[in-house]
Structure 1
Amino acid sequence: MNSFERRLLRVARKLDDAQREQLQLFAEFLASRRRDTVAVAQAPEMPSLLPAREGETVVGAIKRLRESYAMLDAKAMLNETAALMSRHVVGGAPAAEVIAQLEVLFAEHYQRYRQTFE
């Protein structure tokens, strides 16, 4: 049992029978809404690829790609994105090279995202 479950059990034990029943009904309601949401998401979202702007910076490219691939989890890509950003800022890699690598990174993550629907 994890800490959340222990806290929930502690709270539930403090409730009277009617309140526990209300808690259970609400939890079941939330679970049913989750199933409905999951059922709707049976097909992957398509990216809306935005064109690169003239003289685009690495930060601008990251913003553009995050907007283009809005369905991707930005947190899951944070380390790789930050590493590429550091290659540019600290390592002096040309912006165009880093932007190209960012585009590949986002495309690869999108392909992995699509595979979750197969």
Structure 2
Amino acid sequence: MNSRERRILRLLRDLDAPAQEQLLAFAEFLQARGKTQNSPGEIVEPSIVAPVAGESVVGAIKRLRQSYAMLEAKQLLGDTANLMSRHAVGGAPAEEVIAELEALFVRHYARYRESRSE
């Protein structure tokens, strides 16, 4: 284990369970950035995963990333982080934030389709 891995592990251990989940979701989000390579002009349809009862915001982000795997994670990062912060820090209800996340992914998918059909 190198020094960076030890540092990440130390940070992870210092967080409470919800914050650990957020950190893991963020890491998975960043990891997914490199997995969206497809041919120019090719339009990949989303594979919509249904939400589960009592879904958390982190769970919704994971579900939406899976559903819309063709989207560039870095383009979603800022808006997704803002919505997560509204929930985790600002206390916005999970249901409200999840609805906004779903709308965000739909908007980004529409832009993706437009860019592929030009």
Task: Report if TM-score (shorter chain) is over 0.5.
Answer: yes
Shift of 1:41: 4.1
Question: Any gaps of 5 or more consecutive residues in structure 1?
Answer: 1-36
Distance, in Å, in 2 between the alignment partners of 1:95 and 1:65 is 15
What letter corresponds to residue 87 of structure 1 in structure 2? R
Q: Kindly, what percent of the aligned residue pairs are identical? A: 58
Offset from partner CA, 1:47-75 (integer Å, 9 cap, x none):
00000011100000000000000000111
Report which of the two structures shows the higher radius of gyration computed on alpha carbons: 1
Unaligned runs of 5+ in 2: 1-36
Deviations 1:61-101 (A, max 9, x none): 00000000000011111010000000001110000000000
Counterpart position of 1:76: 75
RMSD (CA atoms) = 1.5
Residue identity in the other structure for 2:59: G
Corresponding residue for residue 58 of structure 1: 57
Match of 2:89 in 1: 90
CA distance in 2, matches of 1:116, 1:93: 33
One-letter code aligned to 2:102: E
* Greater RCO (CA < 8 Å, at least 6 residues apart): 2
For these two proteins, the number of residue pairs brought into alignment is 81
Displacement of 1:42: 2.5
Aligned to 2:42: 43
3-state SS of paired residue (1:108):
helix
* Paired AA for residue 101 in structure 2: L
Q: State the alpha-carbon separation in 2 of the partners of residues 112 and 42 from structure 1.
A: 13
Q: Which amino acid aligns with 1:108?
A: R
Aligned partner of residue 117 in structure 1, secondary structure? helix
TM-score w.r.t. the length of structure 1 is: 0.65
Structure 1 runs of 4+ with >2 Å offset: 40-43
C-alpha deviation, 1:117, in angstroms: 1.7
Residue 43 of structure 1 and its aligned partner are, at CA, apart by 2.6
Q: 2:108, 2:100 → 1: CA distance?
A: 12
Superposition pairs of residues 18-37 of structure 1, within 5 angstroms: none
For residues 94-113 of structure 1, give each alpha carbon's deviation from its aligned partner in whole angstroms, at most 9, with x where no partner exists: 00000000000000000000
